[in-house]
Amino acid sequence: MENGNASPLRAARARLWLLRLPLPRSLTRYLGRMLFRFLLTLQGIGSFALITLGVMISRSRVARRVIRPLVFQEASRAGLRLMPMFLFMAAALGLVVIGQTVSWLTRVGAINFLGTVMVVVVVRELGPLVTALLVLARVGTANVIELGTARAMGEVEALEALGIDPVHYLVVPRVLGMALGVFALTVYLILGALFSGYLWAFVQDVPLRPGDYVRQLAGALSGLDFALLAIKTFCFGSIIALVTCYHGLAQPLRLEEVSRATVAAVAQSVIACVLLDALFIIIYLVT
Amino acid sequence: MTQPLPAQAAAPAIEMTNVAVGTLHDPAILVAENVNWTVRAGDYWVVGGLQGAGKSDFLMLAGGVMPPQRGQYRFFGEPMPIFEDARLKTRLRLGLVFDGGQLFNHLTVAENVALPLRYHRNLGPAETGAAVGELLACLELEPCAESLPGAVGYSWRKRAGLARALALQPEVLLADNPLGGVDPRQANWWLAFLDQLSRGHPLMQHRPVTLVVTTADFRRWKGHARQFALLRDRSLRVLGDWAQLAAANRDLVRELLTDGTQTE
């Protein structure tokens, strides 16, 4: 490794000056610089993701008894502890979707499609996306602040001084834990929403027996749905973790910059998740 | 320059050749250039400098946290900094104590001290108990073992930083301004403890530890440290032992030898 690029965390530093320049008045330049900023951020997060992946693989056997408890801790933080909120969200989501669609479906005599609507809306789209955004709001923000403060307080240098890879110790458990957390929460959210959806339909006197409802759901689901749901939620979780860790860790921060980093991380995580979601819609449309 | 010891066959602990030192926050800003410095095993160095002279950045470089901007820095013959696993063993022969301790704020003091042991030896929390307990007892840190760093006083955080750096039994210990911001009793404790480390402490199996500390006041190190250097005007000047320091160009070292009450 070359001297100048020895630490992966310092690679982002050279790009920083461009990000800090004030915006020019001319609109074309403004747009051009916005585009460049976008590309630089994309490049930064992309290389950070690759570094993390590399560390995850190359150090999979290093210090397992330190890293594994951390993964569980993060998974519980990004999963288990959000369960009460997600049960509430599941009930609300079921009500919203069923409440809106039932009246329309009965009017056009298409109540047989209730299960299909639930699958298309909740399983494929809303479930994963709502989960990702909620986890981002509750855990992602805390992540940036925690790591940004640690960075500003010199804890990253302290890790390096002890020969501990900061990416291995700080980033890898968060990526794994959040991917696991988003996946598990999405599954619970979807199950809860499907159940509460039926309850609301039942309350609205829709002539639909539980057996028929389940049959409709099963008919609308394909094997691909399960696979894509798993891939999608793992991607959402990793993206949120990577973007928030990148903003907290990858650049040298001072304490006063932590709030700006948090705002940027949240905005970029939302954009990244929505873009990824759009990508999956294409897959659904093609297959 | 220091006189090389005759019986020194192995590579020197620290060998800097024409090194340029950047700052941690902006490597392009240099705090020292053309640093030529050799630390041999068993040395006890004090690097003096006023605030802003770049003592901390210099020590961060020596501690392998950041790379030299120019020149070469070898630690026991290995080019620093070391981030690869293959050479990690050499890297761990060096311990670095930060000015404010730089403890991990989400871990208790005991967990902070245990972390390097657990990470590098792949141990569970229970298995490090004995080693950590011994360290904490030796550094009188037992009362705050289970506290988070935020709840512990500054000088005790500093001491916990020392405990953490000693956990892996380094052969070379760098301490950033250990006497800065601590009361006289703490300062005396640090001087006595560092002396003991330099001679060979039971904690380190009586193996003498090579020491490098930074300071803004040379006088307190009289009779303790054996080699002195001065960081000033973007260069590191090696002054020699205390007699040579006292005889050195007075302008250079005067500020670090006078106490605050004297004005000229």
Is the Cβ–Cβ distance between B179 and B220 less than 8 Å? Answer: yes
Is the Cβ–Cβ distance between A119 and A221 less than 8 Å? Answer: yes
B122 and B234, same domain (yes or no)? no
- Asked if residue B229 has pLDDT above 60, the reply is yes
B84 and B183, same domain (yes or no)? yes
Instruction: Provide ipTM, 2 decimals.
Output: 0.86
Average pLDDT value for residue range A46-73: 90
Average pLDDT value for residue range A62-86: 90
Chain B residues with beta carbon closer than 8 angstroms to that of A63:
118-120, 122
Q: List strand residue ranges (DSSP E) for chain B, in order.
A: 14-22, 30-39, 44-48, 70-75, 78-79, 94-97, 172-175, 210-215, 227-232, 235-240
Is the Cβ–Cβ distance between A181 and A140 less than 8 Å? Answer: no
Average pLDDT value for residue range B205-215: 89
Pairs of CB atoms within 8 A across A/B? 89
B95/chain A closest Cα distance in angstroms? 7
Domain range for B159 is: 104-163
* Predicted confidence band of residue B5 (pLDDT cuts 50, 70, 90): very low
B39 and B111, same domain (yes or no)? no
* Predicted confidence band of residue B84 (pLDDT cuts 50, 70, 90): confident
Chain B residues with beta carbon closer than 8 angstroms to that of A65:
118, 122-124
- Asked if residue A111 has pLDDT above 80, the reply is no
- State which residue of chain B sits closest to A2, comparing Cα positions: B67
Read off the DSSP letter of residue A243.
H
B248/chain A closest Cα distance in angstroms? 34
A132/chain B closest Cα distance in angstroms? 26
Partners of residue B73 on adjacent β-strands: B16
Three-state DSSP at A159 gives helix
B178 and B234, same domain (yes or no)? yes
Q: Which of B163, B190, B211 is the last residue of a domain?
A: B163
Sheet holding B70-75, edge to edge: B30-39, B14-22, B70-75, B78-79
- Asked if residue A117 has pLDDT above 90, the reply is no
The C-alpha atoms of residue B115 and residue B251 are separated, in whole angstroms, by 45
Domain count, chain B: 2
The token pair at B222 is 């009289």
The C-alpha atoms of residue B45 and residue B64 are separated, in whole angstroms, by 17
> How do strand B78-79 and strand B70-75 relate by DSSP bridges?
antiparallel
Cis peptide upstream of residue B81 (ω within 30 degrees of 0): yes
* Predicted confidence band of residue B237 (pLDDT cuts 50, 70, 90): confident
The CATH number covering residue B223 comes to 3.40.50.300
B249 and B186, same domain (yes or no)? yes
B146 and B21, same domain (yes or no)? no
pLDDT number for residue A9: 59
**Residue type present at position B37:** W
Which of A138-152, A200-214, B126-140, B184-198 is least confident? A200-214
Give the residue carrying structure tokens 């959040």. A178
Partners of residue B48 on adjacent β-strands: B215, B230
pLDDT number for residue B221: 86
Of A65, A149, A158, the CB nearest to B98: A158
B201 and B84, same domain (yes or no)? yes
B218 and B248, same domain (yes or no)? yes
- Asked if residue B261 has pLDDT above 60, the reply is no
Is the CB of B124 less than 8 angstroms away from the CB of A65? yes
Q: How far is CA B10 from CA B40, B79, B86, B212, in A?
A: 9, 15, 21, 19
Is the CB of A160 less than 8 angstroms away from the CB of B103? no
